[in-house]
Amino acid sequence: MTSSAAASPSSPSAISGSAPGLPVLAEVVRSGFVEGHHRGSLVVLAADGSVEMSLGDPSAPVFPRSSNKPMQAAAVLRAGLDLSGERLALAAASHSGEGFHLDLVRKMLAEHGLTPDDLQTPADLPLDPVEAEAYLAAGHVRERITMNCSGKHAAMLAACLHNGWDTATYLDPAHPLQQLVHQVVEEAAGEPVTAVGTDGCGAPLMALSLVGLARAFRTFVTAEPDTAERRVADAMRAHPEYVAGTRRPDTWLMREVPGTLSKMGAEAVQAVALADGRALAFKIDDGSARALGPVLARALGLLGVDAPVVSRIGRAPLLGGSAEVGEIRAAF
């Protein structure tokens, strides 16, 4: 970014890059030597929605990436699409590309007369490395359906068909569905979207502050049962393996801490809300996903979550040869 004065408030270029002076959220320790740091911003909300703790600049806008998916799924419901259970969880997913994920995406498409060719996701490998290796070993190539956002896109296409909206342009920010997503994001976050960009899957991406993102997740878990927001939260919490996968922290956390809503996003974004309305959101400034687990575990500890899964999420060992010689650890 060469000149902030020329940037439009609604343009992605209006969001600055790495902010100077952000605190260290995690440090990289190898053989007792601190060889690197991961800086970022974090916010923790009390049960009443007030800011209980903040580090860095959680009021600055960020792209939440896939942490926005619950809001996108709620927009699909508001558009009149009747989804529930595993299908609704998959609509809010960054799935691992496991067999049960892909099978359900195919079913969702077929139920509405669609095929994987209708998806406008980029061709990709399964997100989970174990699944990606098995997929390649079986002789497969990158496909649109294996991209981790294919469940969301299948739901978006179905919502368009339900309303008679154009399916060829369903990813255009001016499309009625994407305008509805924009509205839902702003309502849930309690703040205006400050920029609209393009996510890795091609869908419009709305920028929020980390405070707004945490507030949105709190909105979903505290919403009335018959609302789109609560229906999404309930589906994700009931079927967490469809939101992520069998080897993913979001799944572990939602499965083992009852009532918790959790969703990570690319570029090291994480948002969580507990059943009582307490919530957190953070972003690792350099986008390194390896710091997510330690930072999330530490933040959950500050919220008083004392379940075995927290230690499991927080483990990020470093290897030297085949031996464990260090770790990535939270630094706050």
Q: pTM of the entire structure?
A: 0.93
- What's the pLDDT at 20? 62
Q: What is the mean pLDDT of residues 121-142?
A: 98
Q: Which amino acid, residue 171?
A: L
Please give the share of the chain, as a percent, with pLDDT higher than 90.
94
Q: What is the mean pLDDT of the chain?
A: 94
Q: Do 147 and 132 form a contact (C-beta atoms < 8 A)?
A: no
What contacts 295, CB < 8 A, 6 or more positions away? Answer: 25, 26, 38, 40, 42, 270, 282, 284, 330
Identify the residue with better confidence: 222 or 13: 222
- What's the pLDDT at 2? 29
- What's the pLDDT at 278? 98
Q: What is the mean pLDDT of residues 146-174?
A: 98
**Furthest-apart CA atoms within the chain: distance in Å:** 61
Least confident of 5-19, 41-55, 174-188: 5-19
Distance from the first to the final alpha carbon of the chain: 30
Does the structure show a pLDDT above 80 at 311? Answer: yes
- What's the pLDDT at 13? 37
- What's the pLDDT at 87? 98
- What's the pLDDT at 19? 55
Rounded CA-CA distance 236/252 in Å is 12
Does the structure show a pLDDT above 60 at 283? Answer: yes
Q: Which amino acid, residue 177?
A: L
List the one residue out of 67, 117, 102, 124 whose CA is nearest residue 242: 102
Q: Do 56 and 23 form a contact (C-beta atoms < 8 A)?
A: yes
pLDDT class of 80 with cuts at 50, 70, 90 = very high
Does the structure show a pLDDT above 70 at 83? Answer: yes
Q: Do 255 and 240 form a contact (C-beta atoms < 8 A)?
A: yes
Q: What is the mean pLDDT of residues 234-240?
A: 98
Dihedral of CA atoms 273, 224, 152, 204 in degrees, nearest 10, equals -80
Task: Evaluate the CA torsion angle 66, 68, 70, 73 in order and state its sign.
Answer: negative
Does the structure show a pLDDT above 90 at 18? Answer: no
DSSP character at residue 203: S
What contacts 47, CB < 8 A, 6 or more positions away? Answer: 276, 277, 278
Does the structure show a pLDDT above 70 at 8? Answer: no
Q: Which amino acid, residue 14?
A: A
- What's the pLDDT at 293? 98
Q: What is the mean pLDDT of residues 77-86?
A: 98
Q: What is the mean pLDDT of residues 91-105?
A: 98
Does the structure show a pLDDT above 50 at 277? Answer: yes
Q: What is the mean pLDDT of residues 316-330?
A: 97
User: Cβ-count burial of 197 within 10 angstroms (0-12 exposed, 13-18 middle, 19+ buried)?
Assistant: middle
pLDDT class of 10 with cuts at 50, 70, 90 = very low
